[in-house]
A and B are shown apart, each in its own frame.
Chain A
Amino acid sequence: MISITVNGKVHRLDVEPEMPLLWVIRDELGLTGTKFGCGISMCGACTVHVNGEAVRSCGMVVGDVAGKSVTTIEGLSPDSKHPVQQAWLAEGVPQYGYCQCGQIMAAAAFLKEHPKPSDADIDANLTNICRCGTYVRIRSAIHRAAALMKT
């Protein structure tokens, strides 16, 4: 039995410790906001927070998360009003949307480290792929979220 906390709730799971965290989140816990994109830690569609830090859950095994606290897109904010979510809505960022939960989770963790980011900070730190090409609006939404967080 492995015990992990996801979105504030403790789960005791009967799974192999080598099972990727992404599988646990989607298939064992049924939280399907987190997406499978590449499976090799390249795209970021599977980004979640572990103890507040952004990680790519396809490349992490559940055994390494035992006793830690995981946050998925479903748990980012109780009312979907996290500043990053508000900014995403205001800027109309998503297109097909497949990458977007990962983008939002990556941006939320990034803003904790860089409360007033420059375009260069954003470009250097956020490497999630968006095949629809929403990057221009991701940039403006991150600036908007940073401003919202200050107020």
Chain B
Amino acid sequence: MRLVEGQGRTRLAGALAAGQDAYKFRRALLEHRPDFLGVLDKIAEKSDWGKPLGQGRGRGIAIFECYDTIIGQVAEVTVSKKGEVRVDRVVASVDCGHVVNPGIVEAQIQSGVIYGLSAALYGEITIKDGRVEQSNFDSYQVVTLADTPKIEVYLALSGGKKWGGIGEPGTASTALAIANEVFAATGTRVRSLPLKNVKLVGPA
């Protein structure tokens, strides 16, 4: 799986290399879109963006649109000395236009994040001699309660004529936020998934 985060990835990498704040940079890029800004500002506020975390910890931010829904996530990660990644907290915000049942919207984002976390950390199908090597949960690891972060979901609805989807956005944006937070915590850019295959160096 290749990671591509919407438009402007090259500019983004350049801006971050130049030490620009990841949230403020996105804000500048999205100035013309109040709906995106509503989501972006919400996750920045609720995640205490800019407040320093301890050593080996970092925050990653990602925002994008799919199924007519804008979703933003800030993920907080700890990278252990051995280079293992643990996602501690995810703050998500969605603009799906309108909401019928807020509880279901929240549940879909919570579980979408968890499904996305499985994919980002472990999900991998490999082929050997023409056959898929994974056949069951003993050879295909998935997230359990022990890996599950605290997940907060906030609505930032723009209303209008839009009725966005809510099933997939949580899943699709998780890997982006996590990969960005791994960069924040370790300085290593993640260019392929799953993370279990990426060699990371934690704090000394």
Which residues in A have some Cβ–Cβ distance to B below 8 Å? 38-40, 42-43, 92, 95, 122-124, 126-129, 131-139
* Among B137, B138, B150: residue with most chain A CB under 10 A: B137
Give the residue name and chain of the A residue nearest to B148 (CB). Answer: A135
Query: Which of B111, B118, B145: most chain A CB closer than 10 A?
Result: B145
A-B contact count (CB 8 A): 60
Knowing A40-B136, A42-B137, A42-B138, say if A137 contacts B145 (CB, 8 Å). Answer: no
Q: Which residues of B contact A126 (CB under 8 A)?
A: 145
Instruction: Give A92 to B115 CA distance when docked, in angstroms.
Output: 18
- The residues of B that contact A139 with a CB separation of less than 8 Å are 145, 148
Indicate if the CB atoms of B110 and A131 lie closer than 8 Å.
no
Is B63 engaged at the interface, CB distance under 8 Å to the other chain?
no
Interface string of B136-163 (1 = CB under 8 A from A): 1110001111101011000000000000
- B145 engages A122 (CB within 8 Å): yes
- In whole Å, how far is B57's beta carbon from the nearest beta carbon of chain A? 19
**Given A38-B136, A40-B136, A92-B103, residue A129 in contact with residue B144 (CB < 8 A):** yes
| Contacting pair B145 A133 (CB below 8 A) | no
- Please give, as numbers and ranges, the residues of chain A lying within 8 Å of B144 by CB-CB distance: 127-129, 135
In the complex, 14 of the A-B residue pairs with CB atoms within 8 angstroms, ordered by the A residue number, are: A40-B136, A42-B137, A43-B137, A95-B107, A122-B145, A123-B148, A127-B146, A129-B137, A129-B144, A134-B107, A134-B110, A134-B111, A136-B148, A138-B145
A27 to chain B, nearest CB (A): 21
Of A127, A128, A132, the residue contacting B111 (CB under 8 A) is A132
Assembled-state Cα–Cα distance A136/B31 (Å): 34
Within the assembled complex, what's the spacing in Å between the Cα atoms of A39 and B112? Answer: 26
B113 proximity list for chain A (CB < 8 A): 133
B114 within 8 Å of A by Cβ?
Answer: yes
Q: What is the bound-complex CA distance between A131 and B122, given in angstroms?
A: 13
* B142 surroundings in chain A (CB, below 8 A): 129, 131
**CB pair B148 A95 closer than 8 Å:** no
Cβ of B138 and Cβ of A136 under 8 Å apart? no
User: Contact between B110 and A42 (Cβ–Cβ < 8 Å)?
Assistant: no
Of all chain B residues, the one with the shortest Cβ separation from A122 is: B145
Closest A residue to B108 by CB, please name it: A95
Whose C-beta in chain B lies nearest to the C-beta of A132? B111
Assess the A42–B114 pair: CB atoms within 8 A. no
Closest CB of chain A to B165's CB: distance in Å? Answer: 16
